[in-house]
Amino acid sequence: MATKLKLGTRGSKLALVQAEWVRAQLLSAHPGLDIDLVVIKTSGDRASQLGIFDEDRTKALFVKEIEEALLLGEIDFGVHSTKDLPADLPSGLEIVAYPIRESPWDVMVLPRGKKMAELSSPALIGTSSLRRQLQLRRFRPDVQFAPSHGNVDTRLKKLESGEFSALVLAEAGLKRLGLRNQVNAEVCREMVPAPGQGALAVEARIDRSDLKPIFSSLDHPETRRQVEAERILMRLLGGGCRVPFGALAELGTQEIRMAVFWCDPAGKNPIFLQEKISLEPKKMLLEMKNLVKRIREESSPKK
């Protein structure tokens, strides 16, 4: 008899593509499973529809109702974009798998034949992320920004209609939707992405030990080490304090190379740092705390 499981997901096109991919991977590894998708409308979806969504400061709202359904036992596991997860998970929940990470980078999507350097001033860039805006101003201080809401297709149509001069999107989303080769996009490697960007997270209840063998085949150790390092830093910095923050961990043989973007809640005093962090757990935590101290010192207003 097949094991029946319920997978909770948001109802956006990208969220459904991601959930279907996870479902397919699990069914391939465990043919005896029967997995139903349960679409859950989140507070983030409602805020986005009303045009009051701040991409950096309220993204945890995209997981709230899914986590509530997990705790109530209405679903067996949920699939999220890792960058939407709060720094601290609700008591009783854990991430049982981080599948292999897609591209962590942001991209600038431009009209056909255009390059970012060719955008005339004042160009209007579509993004609701203060993290992206502050970093873009480093090399294009002349550009203006406007909120960009809705799903990826809606945003791309606004670019085609001339509402924006360009858009900033996560490259992973374009790839998962099969759109990466259909748009003119430049990878923004000068910008530090959001913690966990490009990675999926499979969340379940801690007391569901019966599920752990099922998800072990889906968990990618390198992705887990990268994402957990980024999320540890986010937690130490006070992940709930809603400031523009970027972190990207790249694994070496014995250390992590951590790139960080941070600024104060008002969007002032932005800093960019790169630091090497030990992979040994105790050393990692100590070095992360030292990095947080340095970040806070360097981002404090100079007297």
Positions marked catalytic: 84
For residue 247, what are its two tokens?
């972190």
Interstrand relation of 271-278 and 255-262 (parallel, antiparallel or unpaired): antiparallel
Give residue 295's Cα distance to chain centre: 21
The string over 259-271, giving b where at least 16 C-beta atoms fall within 10 Å of a residue's C-beta and e elsewhere, is: bbbbbbeeeeebb
| Strands 77-81, 106-110: pairing kind | unpaired
Task: Give the separation between CA 257 and CA 245, rounded to whole angstroms.
Answer: 17
Burial of 258 (0-12, 13-18, 19+ CB in 10 A): buried
Cα 166 from Cα 173, distance rounded (Å): 17
